[in-house]
Amino acid sequence: MSTTDGHLEALTKVVLNNLENQHDWTRLQTHAQPNLPRQLIYGLPPKRLYVHPDEQIEMIKAEKDRKEPIPQAPELEWVLPLHLAEKWSLSQFAAVFDAMDAAPPGSSAPEILGPDDPDAQWKLWRGAKRGKRLLLATVQDDSTVTYYWMFDGLVKPRQN
Amino acid sequence: MKMAEPTTIIMTQDTNNDLSEPDIAAASTAPSTNDLPSAPAASGALAAPSSQPPSVPRVSIHKLYALPAPIRTFPLPTFYPSNPLSLFHLVYVWMKHMIFPPAAEPSVVHEGVWDPSTRSVHITDPKSIRALWEQGFFGKGSLSRSEPNWLKREISRRGTVQGLTVSEQHTEARREERRLAKWERAKTELEVIERQRLVESVESNGETTTDIIPTAFEEAAKLNGEQEAILKSFKDAAESDAESSPELVPNGVKPDAEAEAVVEPAKDIIPDEHEQAVESTPEPRAVTVDTAVAASAAAVVESPAVEDTTESSAEHHVEKRPLEEAIWPVDEPKDKRPRLEESPVDLTFNAEVPKDFIFDSESPKEEVFGVEPLVPAVVSNGYIYEAKAPVGPAELLALPNSYADLASLSSVVQATEPEVLEEIVEPDTASSQDTIAIAPLEQAKPPVGPAELLALPNSLADLMLKIVSVAKAVEQVDDVEILPNVSRSPVGPAELLALPNSMADLLSRAPAAEVASEPSKAEVDHPSPEPSPVSPHFNSHAEKSSTDLTQQNGAVNGINAHGTEASVFTHGGNGINGADVNDIKLNGVDGVNGGSLSSVSSLPSTNGSAEARPVLKSPQPIQRRKSVRFSPRVVSNTFQHFDPPSPSRSTKSPPTVVNQETNGIAIETPSAVPTVLFPTAAKPASPEISTPASLEGLPTIIPESSTASVENVVVPSPKVATLSPEPSPESLVATTAESSSLDIAELPDKEHFQLAPEEAFFLSFALGALSVLDPVTRAPMPNDQLLTLFRANSYFPPKATDSAMAGLQPSDPFLVQYAVYHHFRSLGWVPRHGIKFGVDFILYQRGPVFDHSEFGVIIMPSFSHPLWKEYEHEAPRKSWSWLMGVNRVLAHVLKGLVLVYVDIPPPSVFDEMVRDGGIAAALKKFTIREVMVRRFSVNRNR
């Protein structure tokens, strides 16, 4: 068992290194929980990675009123390191989703300034309405790391 | 002694890649190894930024990547039976290789270290890295897409070395651009949806709103790209014209329901009469008239209308209004203005009538008698429709048919703009408006009738002449005639004859047109035979006074065609046939008009030339002027990650507002040009220079070295910045700048070069060019140990290697993958791992540097051997939807999908072969079958 643990650690290290140095993530942390099958990584990407389509609509509405683009500050994101040779089942992924929180620890939602805040609607998407999502980081032995979004449950498809 | 010397030569040949042996190396080595020594040097220079000399020429990639594998071959020269010398050459090379054999290949064995944490082989020696990358594209930079360039990227991000970029940055910028475009698109789509919702809610309420619905439709039409462009140009044209003559639009918007192709009847005219006119077009009588007129570019339909309209009511109406208008074209525009003020006729009419009049009235009778087709002519220009959307059939037909059409339209529109915008004080703006409005009239008229079709410009030269004439028309406001005349395309035999026969001809015409004085220009510009004696004849007309001229004109026009023909015929000595003379007559009439107008107008010529300059540029697309915003307050700017690394290259970024309050003057600088403003604003002695707020965002771009000029200017010197009264941000900036510049000097290369197990095993087992060291003992591992290691590590979690190959099978992922890798490598392909595209390998024909990969390979292990029934195995279970998905992805990136079936030998056979013949014999038991999958689309494969 020690070998597998060592390899999971090595895998996490590979992904951490890749995120930090190739993709310029910051505030990278590993996150372990007893009910999690393996360590998760969370960190701050250099730019915002995912915008929910409904949030986009709210933002566009808010932008119309304020006449300037709303800054899209990056959010902390979950990362699940995987190896290409692994075979994962849906139940394993479901276990991960059940164990994790929607937002990584330390992530701050933009505060809503009273009930009359015109930006309240889209701000909700970065706080209360944020669904569970994580990035699958698939490592291949030639050092390629491929990232895929994975969501908990059905999610409205993004406008392309 | 003799023996010793050549051996040294061969030694140098090994190290130096054959350059020391000129004659034989050229003949015997692979064709392009000669330039290899320079290649690592160049790449080394790239890796070390400080020693990058700009003078080193770039090595061609074909030379750099000439070798397909890190080994060299020494083939014998070709023997040509026809050339006996080649035999001697062959014998010489063969003898030489016999006596002094070249060193055994691979002459260079690279060293790699097995890394259990990444389950791959790491290469640390930079020379080996370059060699393996350049000779066969082995390996991958762990932090790069393929070629190891992480350090390069970091350096370029810090911005010390100018012009150093990596492809990842371009990708980043492109993606950001795309994201913004998508955001904009989402915005417009949301607007449309909301509008539609509004419309539907209103409809459900039972109200009939007229104004909301059309706008929604318009919006929907706007989404359509092409239509949008056309509409926009049209609207621009309409707007610009509305500027010059504000009442044009109300006048123009009166399309009749039964509007024929081009002719749009005015509301004053009785419709049935008009129909009659149009019906008469196909009649032979009308055709004869046409032949007399055909050369002109104006609408066909109108000229028969001239003859047909004999109704008294129509004439009555005409006499009321257009009679005075009929004089206008002959009149000077200055005269027009006072009349405008007193008469109820609006400006629109004023602006419109002259050219239309001239255009459409090729038959001279109209001018004199003021026959009513004038009025339809006013309306019938295609230009007027543009005020509204093309919904009716006539408007659709009136849309510009060609790009040239549109271009000419826009060029004319642009011609108006510079005058209006730059506010060149013209003595007579009204006159310029006249001429400017002419051009759209003539050119925007879409060719729907047969004559218009014939009148389309036939050649580029034709079009050029037209453009020149447009320019000229503005230069001299009043020789209106040039336009219709010149743009008249050669439909008659005379015009055909009169076309320029050679380039020299054309050239001689153009300068003549430019040099000519005002009145004569009208004639010179004609594409029709200008050297004919007709022009002096009409010149004499032109010099007369305006009132005289109208009389004269009337006289000339009153005579029917034959009279003029006769007179011209006597003039023109070069035997011209009848049709020709017709044309000359028409030209002459035009010439008279033009001459008279210009003679009367007395335009100051200097002003005309000044106006001409912007107009001459008219064929070019509209150039937007830079707008500079001045704001009194300090604006900070945060730099995004995708922004260009250094301010010297940040020209494409949105302008950073750097606000400097020095000496009470607020200077706003866009970040693209900080060099211009800072030297003036920031005198070195002035201590109150504060570092711009926006610089806090990117502390790394400020080096302390003074090599990069731009950064140097942005912060004149770090000392000044620290001297400044506000301490906290500047000192922070300065210190971070220093530290970052220190970082650049000894920036650690966090990237390593990584060989996948298949690549490492191929290099080690098949080529022998790599020896893999054990990470602990640093001892080279033999191939069978390596194979066991790789096989065990192809599982996750890896299997134990020490327990006597427990659990290892011939169906190990590594063995199957290696069989495929070896197969394609030995066939000359460059396989690389292809998880990015959802496949096992992607195949490059020559390498990732040269082209995109052609195929995606998916490995299908096949347990077809009968003995496999005895063993437990797991056959691949792939679904059709999976295959469809993979195929879709690959088709999207223009790659073919290849399914590679690997027939795996059963364990008994495999183990036996390993025992008897080693790895090679065992690998021979794997057979490879390729199946190419291509989607068959019935529609596309007809």
What tokens were used for B884? 């469809």
pLDDT beyond 60 at B896: yes
pLDDT computed for residue B129 by the predictor: 93
Q: How many residues does chain B have?
A: 942
Burial grade of B890 (CB within 10 A; 0-12, 13-18, 19 or more): buried
Residue B339 CB-half CA count within 13 A: 15
Question: Across the interface, which of B141, B793, B835 has its CB nearest the CB of A146?
Answer: B835
Among the ranges given (B139-148, B250-259, B467-476, B831-840), the one the predictor scored with the smallest mean pLDDT: B250-259
The complex scores an ipTM of 0.92
Which pLDDT value is given to residue B616? Answer: 41
Q: Which amino acid is at B133?
A: W
Res. B717: pLDDT tops 70: no
Interval A66-107: pLDDT, tens: 878 888 889 999 999 999 999 999 999 999 999 999 999 988
Distance CA B299, CA B289 (A): 13
Region B592-611 average pLDDT: 38
Average pLDDT of B336-349?
40
- Among the residue ranges B39-53, B71-85, B775-789, the one predicted with the least confidence is B39-53
Gap between the Cα atoms of B21 and B64, Å rounded:
20
B617 exposed, middle or buried (CB, 10 Å; 0-12, 13-18, 19+)? middle
Q: Provide the pLDDT confidence category of residue B622 given band limits of 50, 70 and 90.
A: low
Query: pLDDT confidence of B876, banded at 50, 70, 90?
Result: confident
pLDDT surpasses 70 at A30: yes
Extract the tokens encoding B914.
């390993």
Q: pLDDT value at position B921? A: 93
Distance from CA of A7 to the nearest CA of B (A): 7
Task: Determine the pLDDT at residue B471.
Answer: 52
Distance between CA atoms of residues B458 and B202, nearest Å: 53
pLDDT at A66: 82
Q: Tell me what pLDDT residue B445 has.
A: 53
pLDDT of residue B112: 94
**Residue range B384-413: mean pLDDT, rounded:** 62
Q: What is the pLDDT of residue A122?
A: 86
Radius of gyration of chain A (CA): 17
How many CB pairs (< 8 A) connect A and B? 84
Query: If pLDDT is split at 50, 70 and 90, which confidence band does B51 have?
Result: very low
Residue of B120, B121, B143 to mutate, interface with A, max A Cβ within 10 Å? B143
Looking at residues B808-821, what average pLDDT do you find?
92
Q: Give the separation between CA B584 and CA B573, rounded to whole angstroms.
A: 13
B186 touches chain A (CB under 8 A): yes
Q: How far is CA B479 from CA B347, B482, B593, B797, in A?
A: 20, 6, 8, 89
Look-up: residue for tokens 């922070």?
B732
Longest Cα–Cα distance of chain A, Å, equals 58
**H helical segments located in chain A:** 2-17, 53-66, 90-99, 120-125
pLDDT at A34: 92
Nearest to A60 among B141, B187, B750 (CB): B187
Task: Please tell me which of B20-34, B198-212, B334-348 the model is most confident about, judged by mean pLDDT.
Answer: B198-212
Confidence of residue B28 (pLDDT cuts 50, 70, 90): very low
Nearest to B113 by CA among B101, B129, B130, B98: B129
Please report where in the chains the tokens 């004038």 appear, as a residue: B374
Task: Identify the pLDDT of residue B799.
Answer: 86
- Distance CA(A41)–CA(A30), nearest Å, equals 4
Higher pLDDT, B806 or B690: B806
DSSP B676-736: HHHHHH--TT-TT----GGGGG-GGG--SSS-SHHHHHHSS-HHHHHHSS-HHHHHHHHHH
Contact check, Cβ <8 Å, B143/A18:
yes
Chain B closest-CA separation from residue A18 CA (Å): 6
Q: Which residues of B touch A65 (CB under 8 A)?
A: none
Are the beta carbons of B750 and A141 separated by less than 8 Å?
A: no
- Tens digit of each residue's pLDDT (9 = 90 or more) over B138-184: 999 999 888 888 888 888 887 766 666 777 788 888 998 998 899 99
Name the percent of chain B lying above pLDDT 70: 37
Query: Does position B748 have pLDDT exceeding 60, yes or no?
Result: yes
Residue with tokens 């959802």: B838
Q: Please give the pLDDT value at position B666.
A: 38
Q: Residue A159: closest CA among chain B residues belongs to which residue? A: B186
Mean pLDDT, residues B884-906 = 93
Q: Encode pLDDT of B222-251 as tens digits.
A: 554 444 454 455 445 444 444 443 333 334
Per-residue pLDDT at B303: 39
Mean pLDDT of B409-415: 52
pLDDT per residue as tens digits for the range A101-133: 999 998 888 888 877 777 888 888 888 889 999
Question: Are the beta carbons of B902 and B816 closer than 8 angstroms?
Answer: yes
pLDDT at residue B894 is higher than 70? yes
What pLDDT is stored for residue B686 in this prediction? 38
Answer whether A88's CB lies under 8 Å from A94's CB: no
Q: Any idea which of A72-81, B261-270, B825-834, B872-881 has the lowest mean pLDDT?
A: B261-270
- The more confident residue out of B347 and B903 is B903
Q: Report B:626-655 residues touching A (Cβ under 8 A).
A: 640-642
pLDDT of residue B898: 95
Closest partner CB to A21 (pick from B143, B182, B796) = B143
Residue among B754, B793, B797 whose CB faces A143 most closely? B754
Highest mean pLDDT among B403-412, B544-553, B901-910: B901-910
Q: What is the arithmetic mean of pLDDT over B601-611?
A: 38
Average pLDDT taken over every residue of chain B: 61
Minimal C-alpha gap between A115 and chain B (Å): 24
Of B22-31, B161-170, B190-199, B798-807, which range is least confident? B22-31
Distance from CA of B472 to the nearest CA of A (A): 45
Q: Given pLDDT bands bounded at 50, 70 and 90, which one contains residue B113? A: very high
Q: Is the pLDDT reported for residue B409 higher than 70? A: no
Average pLDDT over residues B772-800: 91
- Distance between CA atoms of residues A13 and A81, nearest Å: 9
Q: Does B795 touch chain A (CB under 8 A)?
A: yes
pLDDT band at B4 (very low <50, low <70, confident <90, very high): very low
Mean pLDDT for B293-309 is: 39
When mean pLDDT is compared across B366-380, B802-816, B839-853, the lowest value belongs to: B366-380
